[in-house]
Amino acid sequence: MADKEDNIKRLKTIEGHIRGVQRMIGDDIYCIDVIRQINAIQSALNKISINILDSHLNSCLISAVRGDDIDEREKVLREIVDVFEAATKV
């Protein structure tokens, strides 16, 4: 539960930073400063992704690996591969 609350808190902070970037662009702030802020937002989103993946690996994946359902095990493993493949596309 603490992880969920932490992720929600982080997302609310990111939401504020996104509004800040919108203001920066509207105010014609120096482009590099805007890009730096966007990079910080992306890093914060990556941290949330890592938190969620860690939780998934320690719950859903472990349950699937220990379970008897081969299809479920393969599905969970395939989902993880799919997420990594999607993350490496630009």
At 52-77, the pLDDT tens digits run 999 999 999 999 999 999 999 999 99
- Residue 4 CA to residue 85 CA, distance in Å, equals 25
Q: What is the CATH number of the domain that holds 47?
A: 1.20.58.1000
The count of domains in the chain is 1
Nearest to 76 by CA among 65, 89, 87: 65
Please report the pLDDT score of residue 87 as a whole number. Answer: 85
Q: What is the domain range of residue 25? A: 2-87
What predicted TM-score, i.e. pTM, was given to this entire model?
A: 0.82
